[in-house]
Chains A and B, each alone.
Chain A
Amino acid sequence: MAEAAVVFTPPESYTGRLMHYCPGCTHGIIHRLVAEVIDDLGARERTVGVCPVGCAVYAYNYLNLDMIEAAHGRAPAVATGVKRVLRDRVVFTYQGDGDLASIGTAEIVHAAARNEAITVVFVNNAVFGMTQGQMAPTTLVGQRASTAPCGRRPEHEGYPVKIVEMLNALEGPTYLARASMASPRWVRDAKKKLRKAFLAQVEHGGFGLVEVLSSCPTWWGKPPLEALKWIESDMMAYYPVGELRDLPDGQAKGK
């Protein structure tokens, strides 16, 4: 019998622990993409990640890196503190929309304005997941949430916030993109964008952010596949996918 050879392993930057996320949650995919990108860059041992308050508060259980738990919304400030001390390490944050687009709006704007050499993975699922489905600044018009039982009404709750477009008004940031988890084709695209957001830091010494449109089957009240379809039909219609600000040389150098 031929000897078995190992031809594929999970990323080194993934701890291998069973994840606590809901069935159909796209955090699992995004964690994996981040782990793969860090492995591709050979950066695991010189990377420090900052977790949010949100479902991904436990990201430190799944990413095999030095990790720091930040206060709600403050991850870009925590990352700034780390990066200003350890200039040659790779520093990234992983934040949900309640974290980044609600309580953390000041911190993300100013980190981007400073072109702080960090990478931000912004997981937008249009709802506060961990606290059980409240309306977020990114909840779509008409979308129901536990604190918007009639659905978001512009005249009462205003319009959803487009973070990447807002940040694109600043001089500072190096790379700004929006990606989606809606289907495998978009997952592959998201990985490319995440890689560029890390290269914004590693090769261009600047700020890179990818907003990843994600699903929350539990609080959207949809089965997982339907939730993914809703990303494509509804979220991508309001939050356009694309690269709003590309790396200076238009593409990744080297590896």
Chain B
Amino acid sequence: MSDASPRYGEPVLMKGNEAVCEGAIWAGCRFFFGYPITPQNQIPEYMSRRLPEVGGVFLQGESELASISMVYGAASAGARVMTTSSSPGISLMIEGISYLYGSELPAVIVNVSRGGPGLGNISAAQSDYTQATHMGHGDISMVVLGPNSVQELYEMTAWAFDIADEARAPVMVLADAVLGQMMEPMRPREDAPPPPPSKPWATTGCAGRAPNVVNSLYTADDDLEALNVRVRDRYLRVADRICRCEETQADDADVLLVSFGTSSRVCETGVARLRSRGVRAGLLRPLTLRPFPSARLLELAGSVRVMLAVEMNLGQMLEDVRLAVQGRVRVDFLGRTGGNIPSVAAVAEAAERALAGSD
């Protein structure tokens, strides 16, 4: 997603979880530390076999707590490193992600979300959106990518490593159980990835230089404020360039669906069905959940009559949509949760109801 002229090979039928692994390996990730949790177990299993094949290292951590700290150590040592988990496991990693952010360390974390809260279940949900986009203690602006296909799992995982190295920060790929488990044709990259930047700040042993310290402790208030501003500024520069969304018939839409991940696929079919009934529906699908495509939504608020956020939760991305449009248009909501996915019929009906109530 970041290259001028990518080259793709023949399609391969691949599971979403496996595509995450191949995307990471293509991008040069050679270290993985993680812990078993459904519905992402294929990732550590695949990496345990695949990483040694490419000269990398796989280690199963004793918990998610340990795994994110192993990632932190590997990132400190200058490596491209990834971990993956699912909802409750991500909760355990939050402290470590905050440490990565405050220590200005790059890493990629993939959340194959499941039903929550608590133990929840192992079905798909999008109820970690707020957690992902409001990550951790402290002022954290973390890039979050929202794939909706096996191909995008591959591409966005790879892209995440570039973003992480440029921002010197953790980056999250927010997927769900359906995306992780589904199998689709996937075309792998055949060209070489861009080389990673040099990392003079890494703790590799201080031969020939002054020692490096990787740390998020700044006891002087002004120093900590300066760190926060510095990391935020770096995020803003990266965010400016990478903010991305995909639109389906949004330009002349009366009702604009806003949706990401698995629910966005239902919405694509929903838009087609509505259009066939003569309803001018459109879809805006954020590809970057952070940075959120607020500017484009504000623009569309001037032309659509109503918006409808569709999610597999009780209203999380909904808040970002409402913030983005600054009250200029009503934003209705359709959500299912616990593993349930809104149906095409329900989406179409909700869109028509939204339109009917928008005069």
Contact = CB atoms under 8 A, between A and B. Distances in A.
Chain B CB within 10 Å, residue with most, of A67, A78, A109: A78
Given A66-B212, A69-B215, A89-B204, A81 B74 contact: yes
A85 B78 contact: yes
Interface stretch (A40-48, A136-144, A159-167): A40-48
A46 B205 contact: yes
A47 B63 CA distance: 27
A86 interface: yes
Contact of B214 (A45, A69, A71, A84): A69
A86 B62 contact: no
8 contacts: A48-B205, A66-B204, A69-B216, A70-B73, A80-B70, A81-B69, A107-B65, A107-B69
B172 interface: no
A69 B72 CA distance: 10
Contacts of B59: 80, 84
Nearest to A60: B213
B73 A50 contact: yes
B211 A65 contact: yes
A67 B213 contact: yes
A66 B206 contact: yes
A66 B205 contact: yes
Interface string B186-213: 0000000000000000011111100111
A82 interface: yes
B66 A74 contact: yes
Interface string B93-111: 0011001000100000000
A86 B65 contact: no
Interface string B64-84: 011101111111111101000
Summarize A's interface: helix, strand, loop or mixed: helix
Given A66-B213, A84-B59, A77 B70 contact: yes
A48 B205 CA distance: 6
Contacts of A79: 73
Given A48-B205, A66-B205, A85 B213 contact: no
Contacts of A46: 205, 207
Chain B CB within 10 Å, residue with most, of A69, A85, A86: A85
Contacts of A84: 31, 57, 59, 70, 74
Interface residues of B, number: 39
A39 to B, nearest CB: 13
B169 to A, nearest CB: 17
A125 interface: no
A74 B96 contact: yes
A57 B59 CA distance: 27
A110 B60 CA distance: 11
Nearest to A53: B217
Of the four ranges (under 10, 10 to 19, 20 to 34, 35 or more), the interface on chain A belongs to: 20 to 34
A48 B76 CA distance: 10
Interface string B206-242: 1110011111110000000000000000000000000
A236 interface: no
Contacts of B103: 69
A109 B65 CA distance: 14
Contacts of A106: 62-63, 65-66
A119 interface: no
A81 B62 CA distance: 13
Interface string A31-72: 000000000000011111010000001001000111111110
A15 to B, nearest CB: 8
A64 B206 CA distance: 9
B61 interface: yes
A51 to B, nearest CB: 8
A57 to B, nearest CB: 6
- Nearest first, the 10 A-B pairs at minimum CB distance are A81-B73, A77-B69, A74-B69, A66-B203, A45-B207, A78-B73, A81-B70, A81-B74, A85-B77, A46-B205
B154 interface: no
B68 to A, nearest CB: 8
Nearest to A50: B73
B202 to A, nearest CB: 8
Contact of B206 (A45, A78, A80): A45
A131 to B, nearest CB: 15
Contacts of A83: 73
A68 B76 contact: yes
Interface string A68-103: 111100100111111111100100000000000000
Given A79-B73, A81-B69, A67 B211 contact: yes
A70 B73 CA distance: 8
